[in-house]
Amino acid sequence: MVSSASLVLLASAGCIHQFNPASYTAGLDLYTASLAQYRAGHYGNAAKGFEDATLRFASLDTLLSRAYYYLGMSQIKNNEPILAIATFNKLTQSFPTDTLADDAMLESGKASAGLWSSPELDSKHGEEALQTLSDLMGLYPNSPLRDQAAAEIVRLEEQFATKEFETGMYYVRWGALASSLESFKTVIAQYPMTAKAREAYFQLAVVYSKLKWQDELRGVCPDVRQLYPSDPKARELCGESPQAAASP
């Protein structure tokens, strides 16, 4: 019988095509061979090996969190995001102070975000992604991954803002002008830093004008003029500020 050490060496050299985790009697050997499979791009083999390894390592074994992490990464590479999310969440829940916990949380958030590919789709996975990435920012304030998480949050918020804005525009197209207002207000209140916030402000002014709600229009126009002082659209919808109009 080929020794475990020999199997590890052969796997590392890429000479084994039929990868059998049961061939490795020692958990460390299985982990090493699975890592070699991962690095060689054999992600299906790697996933099998790491999954087996997670069952072999004791809960306090320092390699268990690593096995979970590489299992999740193998599942990502295999285009199995649902499985990967569960694996990464298992790591962060079981080892919240591990050095890979923030890595796993970032990968889980990115995987969830990837499942929400368009604003028109149900936003369930987008909400899960936003929660996970926000948790990373709160739980790991010194993580070097914060910038990546923040960038992903910005992208998600743009998508949420687009979804809400398009809901408002749906009502506008069907002539339900009053019903559109709540969506535009939501974009402004919840996603004020997004590109859609500007459009939402303008649509509020347009709808108020069409409804002839002059008090509401007078209420929103100061914000429009203050936020977008050089925007021609702002001047078209709300005119010049009273101070500018009074200037000689």
Instruction: Kindly report the CATH number that applies to the domain delimited by 163-248.
Output: 1.25.40
* pLDDT at residue 3, as a whole number: 47
Task: Name which of 189, 185, 199 is nearest 228 in CA terms.
Answer: 199
Quote the mean pLDDT of the chain: 91
Among the listed ranges 13-17, 50-54, 227-231, which one has the minimum average pLDDT value? Answer: 13-17
**Is residue 6 over pLDDT 80?**
no
Q: Where are the domains of the chain?
A: 1-58, 163-248
**Is residue 5 over pLDDT 80?**
no
pLDDT tens by residue, 41-59: 999 999 999 999 999 998 8
pLDDT tens by residue, 186-197: 999 999 999 999
Structure tokens at 14: 């890429």
In angstroms, the Cα distances linking 93 to 48, 90, 102 are 22, 5, 11
* pLDDT at residue 116, as a whole number: 96
Using pLDDT thresholds of 50, 70 and 90, give the confidence band for residue 240.
confident
Instruction: Judge whether 49 and 33 are in contact, CB under 8 Å.
Output: yes
pLDDT tens by residue, 96-153: 999 999 999 999 999 999 999 999 999 999 999 999 999 999 999 999 999 999 999 9
Using pLDDT thresholds of 50, 70 and 90, give the confidence band for residue 243.
low
Using pLDDT thresholds of 50, 70 and 90, give the confidence band for residue 241.
low
Using pLDDT thresholds of 50, 70 and 90, give the confidence band for residue 4.
very low
In angstroms, the Cα distances linking 91 to 79, 166, 181 are 19, 37, 43
